[in-house]
Amino acid sequence: SFWLGDLMLVREKLLPCFPPSMAILDFFVLTYHRNFHHVLQQAMSKKMSPAAILYVLGWIRQYQEDLST
């Protein structure tokens, strides 16, 4: 997924450029999480087909699994 690749890039390339006190990786993870939450809230506020709801639920599950790796 694009966001996981982005976070890996942050971890590998940007993290060494910042002091640990800035928690730059945590900042990027939180920023992605907030944006995904906002997009999902907007999507769920509209009438969705059952297939679309199942897709969103599957995506959320995959997102959570990817975050835990």
List pLDDT tens digits, range 3-25: 889 999 999 999 999 999 999 99
How confident is residue 43, by pLDDT bands cut at 50, 70 and 90?
confident
Confidence at residue 55, expressed as pLDDT on a 0 to 100 scale = 92
Range 27-50 burial, b when 16+ CB lie within 10 A, else e: ebbeebeeeeeeeeeeeeeeeeee
The pTM of this model reads 0.75
How confident is residue 2, by pLDDT bands cut at 50, 70 and 90?
confident
